[in-house]
């Protein structure tokens, strides 16, 4: 069986699949040529990340397609329900990238707290004494409260890191439940229980930091808009490594300019791969190009998990 890994797959995952008798093609196919390539090359499985979309028109045009796999968590670039309705297997790897995304968020939180992103941009051409004064009002994470909006695998992984540096955690989720968070300390795990809250607006004012980990909303609406910004503590710092569009970017600029938000880290944007220029250039915004899961370790785990799911579902062909 032929597999098109159109957004790439780790060497570990490819090796496992090839050892099981699958042919893995990694040459990138342009989105507009995807259906033709699938049919012409006799491809029966497509593996994607966030760049390639597999919508209804591709599914309808490829009658021999048997599986669509997403390396990562969110599957908003796949028409999942329609694919399954047509008898296709749809898989993803929700557990493989949680730690990598959480670590990126923690890096951004430290960076925002000490103005690392903006100071780096200005060091080469700025006056040292002036810059030292401009960036002398950093804050510490220890003792601060972080609100984690969306408390699934990634949110809980982030909570473990945040607790480890001495932060207080408010977990917001659609459902109310108690989660046991393991915090590794000296080779042992300290377990901290956190009860989620379901009313976001009731706790926004308590948060010094906010990190968002929710999927793109089905109706396309934003989770954070002007009404949510209005309830936040002045000087809040935010990270979004979930999906573009969960924060209204126009309302965000206004909240940055009026001082409600002291800084925000964005790994995702509404208009990827062409974010608004005012986001990229704003001195209070730290940007990364959708790299939350882009660590060597996560890519190996994603590739391995995809391979195991495929082999488990369709068998060893060797």
* 163 and 22 share one domain: no
Any catalytic annotation for residue 249?
A: no
* 171 and 221 share one domain: yes
* 59 and 177 share one domain: no
- The mean pLDDT value of the chain amounts to 96
| Position 74 pLDDT exceeds 90 | no
Peptide bond into 22 cis (omega under 30): no
* 80 and 123 share one domain: no
- Element holding 286 (H helix, E strand): strand 285-287
Q: Quick: pLDDT tens for 220-255.
A: 899 999 999 999 999 999 999 999 999 999 999 999
Any catalytic annotation for residue 278?
A: no
Distance, CA of 158 to CA of 103 (rounded, Å): 7
* 202 and 182 share one domain: yes
Residue 73: per-residue pLDDT:
83
pTM score of the predicted model:
0.89
- Per annotation, catalytic residue among 18, 103, 249, 272: 272
Distance, CA of 105 to CA of 112 (rounded, Å): 10
* 56 and 124 share one domain: no
Question: How many domains would you assign to the chain?
Answer: 2
* 306 and 204 share one domain: no
| Position 79 pLDDT exceeds 90 | yes
Long-range contacts of 80-89 (CB under 8 A, 24+ apart): 82/56, 83/54, 83/59, 86/59, 88/59, 89/313
* 76 and 50 share one domain: yes
* 8 and 57 share one domain: yes
* 44 and 170 share one domain: no
* Mean pLDDT for the stretch of residues 214-224: 91
Closest Cα partner for 70 from 89, 87, 48?
48
CB contact burial 222-253 (16+ within 10 A = b; e otherwise): bbbeeebbeebbeebbbbbbbbbbbbbbebbb
Residue 231: per-residue pLDDT:
98
Q: Is 309 exposed, middle or buried (0-12, 13-18, 19+ CB in 10 A)?
A: middle
Counting DSSP H helices and E strands in the chain, the numbers are: 13, 13
- Per annotation, catalytic residue among 44, 290, 301, 304: 290
Distance, CA of 40 to CA of 36 (rounded, Å): 6
Which CATH number covers residue 72?
3.40.50.720
* 69 and 115 share one domain: no
48: domain range?
2-96+296-314
Q: How many CA atoms lie within 13 A of 245 on its CB side?
A: 12
* 152 and 238 share one domain: yes
Any catalytic annotation for residue 301?
A: no
Q: Quick: pLDDT tens for 99-132.
A: 999 999 999 999 999 999 999 999 998 899 999 9
Counting residues of the chain whose pLDDT is more than 90, the rounded percentage is 93
- Per annotation, catalytic residue among 108, 237, 243, 301: 243
């Amino acid at each position: 069986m032929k597999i098109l890994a159109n957004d790439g797959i780790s060497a570990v995952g490819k090796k496992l699949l090839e050892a099981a008798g699958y042919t893995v093609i990694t040459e990138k196919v342009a989105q507009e040529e995807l259906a033709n390539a699938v049919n012409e090359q006799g491809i029966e499985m497509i593996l994607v990340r966030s760049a390639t979309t597999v919508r209804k028109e591709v599914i309808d045009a490829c009658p021999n397609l048997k599986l669509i796999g997403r390396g990562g968590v969110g599957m908003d670039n796949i028409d999942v329900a329609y694919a399954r309705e047509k008898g296709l297997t749809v898989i993803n790897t929700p557990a493989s990238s949680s730690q990598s995304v959480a670590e990126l968020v923690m890096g951004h939180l430290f960076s925002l707290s000490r103005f690392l992103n903006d100071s780096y941009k200005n060091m080469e051409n700025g006056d040292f004494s002036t810059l030292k004064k401009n960036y002398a009002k950093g804050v510490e994470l220890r003792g601060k409260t972080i609100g984690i909006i969306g408390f699934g695998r990634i949110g809980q992984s982030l909570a473990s890191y945040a607790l480890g540096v001495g932060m207080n955690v408010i977990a917001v989720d659609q459902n109310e439940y108690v989660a046991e968070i393991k915090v590794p300390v000296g080779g042992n795990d300290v377990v901290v229980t956190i009860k989620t809250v379901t009313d976001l607006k009731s706790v926004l004012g308590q948060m010094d930091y906010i990190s968002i980990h929710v999927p793109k909303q089905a109706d396309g609406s934003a989770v954070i808009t002007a009404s949510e910004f209005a309830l936040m503590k002045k000087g809040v710092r935010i990270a979004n490594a979930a999906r573009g569009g969960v924060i209204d970017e126009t309302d965000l600029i206004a909240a940055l300019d009026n001082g409600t938000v002291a800084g925000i880290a964005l790994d995702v944007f509404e208009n990827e791969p062409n974010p608004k220029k005012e986001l990229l250039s704003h001195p209070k915004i730290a940007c990364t190009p959708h790299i939350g899961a882009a660590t060597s370790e996560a890519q190996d785990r994603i590739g391995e998990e995809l391979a195991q799911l495929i082999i488990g579902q369709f068998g060893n062909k060797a």
